[in-house]
Structure 1
Amino acid sequence: MASDKNAAALIESKGIKSAPITIVDDSEVIIGFYPRKLIATLNIKTQVDLSAKTEWLKEKYRAILSGSIRASKQFSIEQLETTLPWRPQTLLDHMKHIISFPELAYASHSTGSMSTDDMRASYENLKNITTPEQIELYGNTVISHISDFLDSNDYDSFDRVVPAHYGGEVTVLELLTIILSHSTHHLKQTYMYMEEHLNINIESPATESDFAGIITPEALI
């Protein structure tokens, strides 16, 4: 685009500041990479197969959330009530956060958003979850719901564009990918906290294979 002055001028005239961009007939603007929307708009004769992406997401969510559940089961109630040293949040809320954000991301296909209001409502709804056993039950339910959704072949829901606090205007699958990285980062923080602050030997932690392909910040804190 930097070398195409006409394209740059057109984009600037429409007030567009994001990429990638597709402009159809100088009128319809598609911001972002949404294969099914692009195929329909441009009348491209092809099929989009998202099965590899959905299968990958399903397996990664199962691995990361299961790892979070196993970690939660190693904590005492007293430890869960402890405030974390790097943020004003209890370990209990931290562990629920790892699971609740994927739930919100998945649910956005029906709720239509993953907003700060959605996050606050989720926090309130989960206040009765206070024990490792309850975290395990909740986590397994979320794993089941996400797995069923990703196995559904509901491409309209996969491609639904939703406003999200994380990622802006994104498809549901894109949001699930973003939140997978978010929860994985928090799980890695949990492991660090267990080893360095609680002196807990982690039982059956998520493996390097589980983490493979999931982008997270190098710095844990």
Structure 2
Amino acid sequence: MFARAELLIDGFLLTVQLTVLTGVIGLTLGLGCAIIRTYGPPHGRLAVATYVEIFRNTPFLVQLFLIFFGIPEVGKTFGMRWLPSPYVAGLAALSVNIGAYATEIIRAGLQSVHHSQIEAAESLGLTRWQVIRYVVLPPALRNVYPALSSEFVLLMLGTSVVSVISVEELTGTANLIQSETYRTFETYALIWVIYFALALVLKWMLDAVAMRFIGRRKPPRTIAGAVHA
């Protein structure tokens, strides 16, 4: 099994890559959708709410199959012959899935900011975007950071599901190795240890970020201080 260590390394690196890319894309998507659902126009709120409810209340595996197998079939109906690669389909499915969960987490943070803070900022002549950026977002993200960091750990573990469409990340690599060596227990036990270690390292890194940028940062004393921070 250790003779195929290069495959394990490639699978490990692909797992890390998927986690980082989908984390960034999902957080960006979730942040934008949370702002729209909280402060956007009615039709925008309805669109975001529909997206969130669909992806939070259906199995991720079904979403993955729908993107990988379903979209090409729909495309053929309109004369489009586009077939996403397993990697692209996995990346897209993970991103929109984590984006839906991040939307609700961040929205809870936005709603946790007292309305008096917003009114005080508006009385200073700040625009709606300045209020959101300087007054609402910093405390909102601090409030929900623990929930977001836990979601990112779950995201890393969830990358194992994309192995079912032949993405050779860590679990996909393990499936390949055990099919060649027939050493099922040893292979998956090793993968279990790697996932566990990776989750601990990711949690430690996220905690370090919290201590560096959140735990040691004192909130501004005034609204004006928040704007100029």
| Same fold at TM > 0.5 | no
Larger Rg: 2
Structure with bigger RCO (C-alpha 8 Å, 6+ apart):
2
TM-score, normalization: structure 2? 0.28
TM-score, normalization: structure 1? 0.29
- Judging by fraction of residues, say which structure has more helix: 2
- Judging by fraction of residues, say which structure has more strand: 1
